[in-house]
Amino acid sequence: MIETGLIFRNPKPHLYSRQASFPSLALLPNGEMLAAFGVGAGFESADNHTEFSRSTDGGRTWTLAGAVFNERTERPTSSNVRISRMPNGELVACGIRAERWRADEGLSNPETQGFVETELILCRSSDNGQTWTGPAVVTPPLVGPAFEVCSPIVPLSDGRWLWPTSTWKSWDGDNPSGMKAIALVSHDRGRTWPEYVDVMNGVAENVLYWEQKVVDLGGGRLLAVCWTHDLNAGADRQVHYAISSDNGRSFGPPRPTGLRGQTSTPIALGDGRLVCVYRRTDKPGLWASYARIAGDAWVNEGELALWGNVGAGAANIVGGENLSRAFTTLKFGLPAGLVMPDGQVFIAFWCVEDCLYVIRWCRITTRAAQASQ
């Protein structure tokens, strides 16, 4: 069973362009919800920044609340951050600030598939998102030289913070660390990040793991999920996962989930059960897979179509040899999700409707049998 609506849509598209993408979610102690998302004149335009909306009725209606930060740098930059709530109630927004002095270029170089120059940034709020600190620049423990950030920070049971990310090529194609999924580690609530752990490393096989998401399964077990691309074949593999049994200090080998898709977001339900929301490639649209982790095995138990499964075309699926060029054809993706107090799963994602990039939400049940009714 699905209930759906909009978090953000440009209210005056006849006057100006405001395209939205890449949402993240936080549930506040007072029951309110925040949704943060990128907004700009275009999907990769140089004016992209993060705004957020607030809901006081369980996510059914939303009010735009403004920008996470309005910092103006001496150089042209764009930024995008992901929000999460820490155990002490503090909100943390992590992301990247990208150099945009190449006026007629997007975020990636089609010739090298490298990324523009980036720096990692972090903002905080101690008043439920009413105010935010300015972005603090984070010094990573390795050379990216660029990083892609699609996941919020994950607080661990021992007090450490885990920041899932992936190393990426520079604009010119330099790649000293290899392109791999890693997680930065902080022991002081995000003030310093002196360590990192390899989550999925396919450098030797020329396999790219990216758009990583990590969830805490409890009992010191973490689950990481990645979009997986075979660079030699120029084709996606199944979505892959890796499990940590030592609270994120190391991860086991990447394994296929059985899901043919790209960007994916696992939402832990407890007792090893989860919902994985993903952009499917063997069928059109955004789907939810009901699954469970049995030991270290991923077991799919049911599925539910969420959006775009009727009349969707091939333009919804990234494929081919050049990821930079293909990425510009995307029409939906990067879901975020959380479990609500009533036990339902709340999901936010971006999609193109009536030629506008909007942020849409939906609610689903936590059981495959109930969802199919």
How many residues are present in the chain?
373
d(C-alpha 225, C-alpha 246), whole Å: 17
d(C-alpha 141, C-alpha 335), whole Å: 28
- Asked if 236 contacts 257 with a C-beta cutoff of 8 angstroms, the reply is no
- Asked if 371 contacts 358 with a C-beta cutoff of 8 angstroms, the reply is no
- Report the 10 Å Cβ neighbour count for 178: 16
Domain ranges of the chain: 3-371
Please tell me the predicted confidence (pLDDT) of residue 332. 87
Please tell me the predicted confidence (pLDDT) of residue 323. 52
d(C-alpha 166, C-alpha 208), whole Å: 9
For 355, counting Cβ atoms within 10 Å of its Cβ (0-12 exposed, 13-18 middle, 19+ buried), the class is exposed
Q: From 267, 275, 148, 290, select the one nearest 214 (Cα to Cα).
A: 267
Block mean pLDDT (10 aa), the chain, length 373 = 90 96 96 97 94 97 93 85 97 96 93 94 97 95 94 97 97 94 98 98 95 97 97 95 98 98 96 96 93 97 89 40 54 93 95 94 78 54
Please tell me the predicted confidence (pLDDT) of residue 309. 79
**Matching CATH number, 3-371, of 3.90.550.10, 2.120.10.10, 1.10.3210.10, 1.20.120.80:** 2.120.10.10
Please tell me the predicted confidence (pLDDT) of residue 316. 41
HSE-CB of 105 using CA atoms within 13 angstroms: 19
Please tell me the predicted confidence (pLDDT) of residue 369. 46
- Asked if 1 contacts 311 with a C-beta cutoff of 8 angstroms, the reply is no
Please tell me the predicted confidence (pLDDT) of residue 70. 78
d(C-alpha 217, C-alpha 270), whole Å: 7
For 72, counting Cβ atoms within 10 Å of its Cβ (0-12 exposed, 13-18 middle, 19+ buried), the class is exposed
